[in-house]
């Protein structure tokens, strides 16, 4: 059975996979806007490996970037032909990593990855090298055994994921026709510890700043001023009414409701005996995709107008972040079904298509009209000190990808 031969081969690849992880982890690929040199050096190492390991076609799409010493940000598309070209199974991972952060919190050099009891430690080893390496070896297993996947395979190894994807997948989508609507697009850059989470949708994000202007006065003479903090407090309480106004539930999401939370609060007056004339607070909203963001904003302005009238204050509302949700991938889309089957085969786990609070790179595919699913079995140590990758996860995720490549 080809599936067993492939699984066995991937088990045997364990040391070679660790070796590639260690090599790539030693080449920092931090974005210029985060103080690094970009991904060109790491891309060279990846290209060398791809060319030696069975990828028939490799293309580099260079997004110009004068802040990078190379002058560009590399996006690699690597192909292996299958028995049919009716669709391409895409696995997209990213080359870039975030900076190490506070070095004293690390137990070793973040850019000299090290191994400790079944784990590789270092910056980028989980986010996103674990699955970058896994996807390369999934294809290499077919090549080395002289087997062909059911359909064509494309690995997209992109730049700039951590700082907005402008020079990464957004550039690739704009400048190529690589992706087709019938393709299966897998983004192993989000997941959970048991591998059950298949991310298919996200909520809209709306971050607002509320500035309430009243009139400053002495604490003993409130009638001579307008207490902006008191008015803002009534507004905060009123905004809780958004939950009732937009009360739909969607079991695809966890939590299944839209959330509207007052969060940050700026200091107003420094002393106790002054009525504050100005007050600033912020709200973080995560909104089910069925509600247009404009509808929420209109309701918020209505609430603010009522407070303005009741207290004689002026309230300005400013967008800090406004990201309407991408159209969701259907929970029964072929790529989701394929992942569910493979995850059950390899891990014995029932995959669960879910929506999350917002902000995955799959949204770029979804906005461009493609169905994409995020999946990985990982420990969510991304961006933390002592980031690690469980070596078993890397090997077994490669098996999940390989199983998908064998599906009809
Ligand atoms: Zn990532």
List, for residues 21-55, the tens digit of each pLDDT value.
999 999 999 999 999 999 999 999 999 999 999 88
> What CA–CA distance (Å, rounded) separates 223 from 244?
34
> What CA–CA distance (Å, rounded) separates 354 from 201?
7
Among residues 152, 161, 199, 340, the one annotated as catalytic is: 161
Other residues' Cβ atoms within 10 Å of the Cβ of residue 380: 14
Residue 94 CA to ligand 1 center (angstroms) comes to: 7
Tell me the sheet residues that pair with 286.
205, 259
Residue 245 CA to ligand 1 center (angstroms) comes to: 35
Quote the tokens at residue 45.
């190492």
| Per-residue pLDDT reduced to its tens digit, 55-68 | 879 999 999 999 99
Q: Check residue 358 and give its pLDDT.
A: 73
CA distances from 105 to 23, 65, 266 (A): 23, 32, 29
**Signed CA dihedral, 344, 350, 353, 357: sign only:** negative
Quote the tokens at residue 7.
């699984």
Arithmetic mean of pLDDT, 364-389: 96
Q: Check residue 341 and give its pLDDT.
A: 98
> What CA–CA distance (Å, rounded) separates 124 from 145?
30
> What CA–CA distance (Å, rounded) separates 392 from 319?
43
> What CA–CA distance (Å, rounded) separates 20 from 16?
6
Active site (annotated) includes residue 161 = yes
Residue 128 CA to ligand 1 center (angstroms) comes to: 5
Q: State the angle between helix axes of 391-405 and 130-145 in degrees (0 to 180), rounded to the nearest 10.
A: 50
Confidence of residue 408 (pLDDT cuts 50, 70, 90): confident
Residue 10 CA to ligand 1 center (angstroms) comes to: 23
Phi (first) and psi of residue 234, to 5 degrees = -65, -35
Quote the tokens at residue 389.
């990758």
Question: Over 80: is that where the pLDDT of 359 sits?
Answer: no
Q: Check residue 263 and give its pLDDT.
A: 94
List CB contacts of 66: < 8 A, sequence separation 6 or more.
none
Among residues 7, 39, 96, 279, the one annotated as catalytic is: 96
Active site (annotated) includes residue 250 = no
Residue 157 CA to ligand 1 center (angstroms) comes to: 12
Question: Over 80: is that where the pLDDT of 179 sits?
Answer: yes
Q: Check residue 298 and give its pLDDT.
A: 98
Chain centroid offset of residue 62 CA = 22
Arithmetic mean of pLDDT, 98-105: 96
Q: Check residue 56 and give its pLDDT.
A: 75
Arithmetic mean of pLDDT, 211-232: 97
Residue 161 CA to ligand 1 center (angstroms) comes to: 7
Other residues' Cβ atoms within 10 Å of the Cβ of residue 327: 13
List CB contacts of 325: < 8 A, sequence separation 6 or more.
201, 202, 203, 204, 287, 289, 358, 363
What is the SS3 assignment for 313? coil
List CB contacts of 146: < 8 A, sequence separation 6 or more.
none
**Signed CA dihedral, 254, 255, 256, 258: sign only:** negative
Residue 188 CA to ligand 1 center (angstroms) comes to: 8
Q: Quick one: which of 312, 259, 309, 310 has its CA closest to 286?
A: 259
Residue 100 CA to ligand 1 center (angstroms) comes to: 14
> What CA–CA distance (Å, rounded) separates 360 from 308?
37
Question: Over 90: is that where the pLDDT of 309 sits?
Answer: yes
Residue 150 CA to ligand 1 center (angstroms) comes to: 28
**Strand locations in 288-335, DSSP E?**
314-323
**Signed CA dihedral, 250, 254, 255, 261: sign only:** negative
**Signed CA dihedral, 38, 44, 46, 51: sign only:** positive
Confidence of residue 360 (pLDDT cuts 50, 70, 90): confident
> What CA–CA distance (Å, rounded) separates 373 from 169?
15
**pTM across the whole model:** 0.88
Arithmetic mean of pLDDT, 117-143: 97
């Amino acid at each position: 059975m080809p599936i067993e031969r492939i699984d066995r081969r991937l088990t045997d690849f364990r040391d070679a996979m660790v070796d590639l992880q260690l090599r790539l982890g030693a080449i920092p690929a931090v974005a210029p806007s985060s103080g690094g040199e970009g991904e060109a050096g790491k891309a060279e190492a990846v290209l060398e490996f791809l060319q030696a390991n069975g990828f028939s076609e490799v293309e580099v799409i260079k997004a110009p970037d004068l802040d990078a010493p190379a002058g560009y940000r590399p996006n690699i598309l690597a192909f292996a032909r299958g028995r049919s070209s009716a669709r391409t199974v895409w696995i997209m991972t990213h080359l870039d990593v975030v900076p190490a952060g506070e070095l004293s919190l690390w137990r070793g050099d973040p850019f000299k990855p090290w191994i400790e009891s079944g784990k590789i430690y270092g910056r980028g080893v989980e986010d996103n090298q674990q699955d970058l390496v896994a996807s390369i070896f999934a294809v290499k297993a077919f090549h080395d055994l002289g087997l062909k996947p059911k359909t064509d395979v494309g690995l997209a190894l992109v730049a700039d994921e951590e700082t907005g994807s402008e020079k990464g997948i957004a550039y690739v989508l704009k400048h190529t026709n690589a992706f087709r609507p019938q393709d299966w697009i897998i983004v192993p850059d989000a997941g959970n510890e048991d591998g059950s989470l298949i991310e298919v949708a996200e909520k809209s994000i709306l971050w607002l700043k509320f500035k309430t202007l009243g009139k400053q006065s002495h604490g003993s003479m409130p009638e001579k001023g307008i207490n902006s903090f008191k008015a803002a407090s009534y507004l905060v309480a009123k905004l809780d009414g958004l939950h009732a106004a937009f009360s739909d539930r969607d079991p695809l999401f966890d939590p299944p409701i839209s959330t509207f939370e007052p969060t940050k609060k700026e200091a107003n007056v420094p002393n106790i005996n002054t009525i504050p004339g100005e007050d600033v607070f912020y709200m973080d909203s995560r909104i089910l995709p069925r509600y247009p963001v404009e509808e929420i904003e209109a309701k918020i302005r209505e609430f603010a107008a009522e407070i303005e009238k009741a207290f004689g204050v002026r309230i300005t509302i400013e967008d800090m972040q406004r990201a309407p949700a991408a159209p969701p991938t259907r929970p029964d889309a072929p790529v989701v079904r394929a992942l569910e089957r493979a995850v059950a085969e390899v891990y014995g786990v029932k995959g669960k298509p879910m929506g999350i609070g917002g902000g995955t790179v799959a949204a770029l595919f979804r906005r461009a009209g493609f169905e994409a699913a995020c999946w990985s079995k990982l420990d969510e140590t991304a961006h933390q000190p002592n980031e690690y990758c469980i070596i078993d996860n890397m090997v077994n995720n490669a098996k999940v990808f390989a199983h998908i490549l064998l599906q009809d």
